[in-house]
Chains A and B, each alone.
Chain A
Amino acid sequence: AQSVTQLDSHVSVSEGTPVLLRCNYSSSYSPSLFWYVQHPNKGLQLLLKYTSAATLVKGINGFEAEFKKSETSFHLTKPSAHMSDAAEYFCVVSRTGSARQLTFGSGTQLTVLP
């Protein structure tokens, strides 16, 4: 079985300050981990994915995430928030070999204050 816990349902930051969205996972197998972003009334866009090649993963729009097996965490960070980053973010896990069935976290709503 696999699951994902997003530790914060809402995060507010000021524009230009760092962003940290926290995610812990549980998986009986070596997982693939993803972060997706969803803007209002839009579909999901892939930010980045971890597939065991490197523990620090760089994604689009300046986001990155670090896979820490000892902590079972995959937190998403960005050095400087932009107004356009305001959206809902989902941490997602899939079992290696079964990448087509994704298990989603409950989401973190990011608000960026001017």
Chain B
Amino acid sequence: KAGVTQTPRYLIKTRGQQVTLSCSPISGHRSVSWYQQTPGQGLQFLFEYFSETQRNKGNFPGRFSGRQFSNSRSEMNVSTLELGDSALYLCASSSDRGWADTQYFGPGTRLTVL
């Protein structure tokens, strides 16, 4: 089975711009979660989508949003970029078969905001 894929792998943007990141989960997985990783804050949960609905949300401003399509692929969008948004954004998918589910992570998208 192919793993979680994320595109693009690297992005450079300037302050004030917006960006869209894409995630394709493992085939058959319906849950997709997003995480932000920075040296200062570590790994933080952004949100989780299941069957095209946001099911959980972390403590991030409304500039961070996402969506999920009927094929379970997910996108996250960051509007009005700030320097502090520079981070590795990781996507993870799971089969959502129960509470002991494992999340499988993609390689991440490295976003640099100048």
A114 to chain B, nearest CB (A): 27
In Å, the complex CA distance between A44 and B42 comes to 13
Q: Could you tell me which residues of chain A, from 92 to 112, have a CB within 8 Å of some CB in chain B?
A: 96-107
In Å, the complex CA distance between A31 and B99 comes to 10
Q: Are A43 and B105 in contact (CB under 8 A)?
A: yes
Q: A44-B105, A45-B105, A90-B43 are in contact. Are A99 and B90 (CB under 8 A)?
A: no
In Å, the complex CA distance between A101 and B49 comes to 11
Size bin of chain B's contact surface: 20 to 34
Q: Which residues of B contact A100 (CB under 8 A)?
A: 31, 33, 48, 50, 55-56, 94, 96, 101, 103
B64 within 8 A of A: no
In Å, the complex CA distance between A112 and B7 comes to 32
Instruction: Kindly report which residue of chain A lies nearest to residue B9, judged by CB atoms.
Output: A41
Q: Which residues of A contact B42 (CB under 8 A)?
A: 104-107
Q: Are B104 and A32 in contact (CB under 8 A)?
A: no
A58 within 8 A of B: no
The 5 sampled A-B contact pairs (Cβ below 8 Å) are A44-B105, A96-B99, A99-B103, A100-B56, A100-B101
